[in-house]
Structure 1
């Protein structure tokens, strides 16, 4: 075979390994684990960090206040220096809708070494601990919950003995760019952190989805949450790692009735969302970046290129290997497209989608080295380790 054919063969072998040996990452039937209602419902405090969320809060906060939870529960919304009246609007929504008690507070600007979100979470947890909750629900301000969301999360945690139960909210897919990129984002996440491996106590894989994390208060204290992860840009993964390293049992799966309402209709909106943290995921390492780019090119770009090269040059082996790899790739993506109710033909565009994510990752590294990395809502965070550890 030609060099193109051998490269396509390696890509095909990579896809067969991913298909069979990567924790069945492609399956989307990972809903909440089996659960039963406990004899008594433990007290829960909901912590919502919010910065400039007035646009989505009227559609999300009422869903938290309206939770049908049989035990004691209350909501703490922590206004992280908003300039759009987020805190004032939250109080007005609570007066208008009623439901669970709401406390609105603000911790002020985060000190060096803290991200704004985690500084807000720290304040919320501190206020919540005065109520002695057994569980903390950490959820983002753009997340809408079904009325029984909290009830189901607590039942799953109690039944399974989990210290952390997290659901990846269903992200918005209304615009063309959202349909192209959002299901792939979740697919890539699951490939990196297979959900079935996360729940396995003997596996080191750990991750959570920051939009919806039910955390046992005792496990949070044992793992020093959020202080132990205070500078993490990808805070949900760091939080899950800290809990699992502390001996806690964790679970992550796909949500069906927990939705993110944050709109990202344009390519630049999604690009900014990914590029702000992609290089942090690679530990700000040029070597890891180079390996990631090479790996993405081999796995996602080689198959269609091999098909094209084989057709043009008459290399039947290259075309066949590339075509098989492309088919396996598309087949593993179909369940995620079905989960997001998208047309199956988008599976054939996954190489193009992967190319866009590759470019976003490279852009994230460029922004970091220009001093503009990890920027979000008016703040730019330093590289981890740039601030002395005060613990």
Structure 2
């Protein structure tokens, strides 16, 4: 157990020092360029059964203080709750609401809706892809465009997620933390980056670059569509930027553990490319890096063995120190960082459940739609 503890210490030193400072929360919008001619923008919002939330989010898009030409297109993805009717009532003539046909074979419902919305938008310079549950500050679009005009082809912000219930406070900050661990923002933002990622709730993409890369059709079957879009843009020489949001927030409520479990499990195994080898490596890594420190700390304490206790405690404290900035960003008390191993255990179980769903032939289920895609 002492050896495992020291392995965990070494792993945390490597992660903390050599993983692109993933634990920092200072990646906000890059310097905003002075814009002489404001480019045209279409805001495309794919929405499926979102009648309960668009009443709060659509007005934030329709009231953007953007100096250039902007159009808002909501794509009703065959909703059954009256999303289109509610949206038309809110937006009036300022909003285009359209409904595509049923997705063809090989397309995810969301990406089919996005592709339809981009076609509906017509000839514009930029497309802002934002989810129906995302609320934007009044100057959000202006700042995104200024950031893009500074030399970026895809500017994405990780929206501030809701943390009102006990389960949300336990799981959500760790969700963003683990995302940053997988895709360190600083590495994504390097001019010669090899790492590609984006946050699907808020992505401003240069339309000409997207078209040159093959359009949304090139990633039509992607479950993790934001990362797929980032890789697509990067593949044709586009430059990416990814960071935390200031005035972009999600109103999506996931009050129960079951809600969060389903949200994460639907994409966890696809994130591992459906590979049993990567699944085994992930479970082993989570066990050694996140679970071994508290286990060895408690075991060393119970038997009075400092050789076991010390490395476990050191690894646990380093782990907590890397999580503290994210908790501060979300306004959570810093001692809660010591609970990260418990959350990591939940994520391990969610990942295993995601694999179980795939192996049982259930595929991916989201918003009442089931499909098996890459």
- TM-score band (shorter)? over 0.9
Distance in 1, matches of 2:263 and 2:363, equals 11
Specify the alignment match of 1:59 in structure 2.
Answer: 56
2:103 is the alignment partner of 1:110: yes
Corresponding position of 1:237: 227
Q: Does 1:9 align with 2:9?
A: no
**Gapped runs of 5+ residues in structure 1?**
385-391
Aligned to 1:191: 181
Q: Residue 45 of structure 2 aligns with which residue?
A: 48
Distance 1:22 1:274 in 2: 23
Mapped contact 1:138–1:210 kept (Cα < 8 A): yes
Structure 2 unpaired stretches of 5+? none
Counterpart of 2:263 in 1: which secondary structure?
Answer: helix
Which residue pairs with 2:135 in the alignment?
144
* Number of the residue aligned with 2:147: 156
Pick one of 269, 289, 292 that aligns with 1:302. 292
Q: CA deviation at 1:378?
A: 1.2
State how many pairs are aligned: 374
Q: CA RMSD in A?
A: 0.9
User: Counterpart of 2:74 in 1: which secondary structure?
Assistant: strand
SS in structure 1 opposite 2:315? Answer: helix
CA distance in 2, matches of 1:108, 1:172: 32
User: Runs in 1 of length 4+ with deviation above 4 angstroms?
Assistant: none
- SS at 1:40 equivalent: coil
Task: Name the CA distance, whole Å, in 1 between partners of 2:71 and 2:154.
Answer: 19
2:265 paired residue among 264, 275, 292: 275
Question: Which deviations, in whole Å up to 9, do the C-alpha atoms of 1:213-244 show, x marking residues without a partner?
Answer: 00000111011121111000000000001111
* Residues 365, 373 of structure 1: 8 Å contact kept: no
1:277–1:373 contact (8 Å) kept in structure 2? no
- SS of the residue 1:364 aligns to: helix
Q: In structure 2, what is the equivalent of residue 315 of structure 1?
A: 305
For 1:31-51, what per-residue CA distance to the aligned partner results, in whole angstroms no more than 9, with x for missing partners?
A: 100113301100001110000
Match for residue 118 of structure 2? Answer: 125
Match of 1:252 in 2: 242
Q: Does 1:75 align with 2:65?
A: no
1:44 and 1:55 map into 2 onto residues whose CA distance is 26
Compute the displacement of 1:318 (Å): 1.5
Match of 1:337 in 2: 327
2:371 corresponding residue in structure 1: 381
2:199 equivalent to 1:209? yes
Match of 2:252 among 262, 270, 290: 262
**Separation in 2, partners of 1:242, 1:330:** 35
Task: Give distance in 2, aligned partners of 1:310 and 1:154.
Answer: 54
CA distance in 1, matches of 2:371, 2:213: 23
Matched residue of 2:71: which SS?
A: strand
CA drift of 1:270 comes to 0.3
The residue aligned with 2:338 is 348
| TM value normalised by structure 1 | 0.94
Deviation string 1:65-118 (CA, Å, 9 cap, x unpaired) is 0000000000110000000010111110013xx7xx311111121011000000
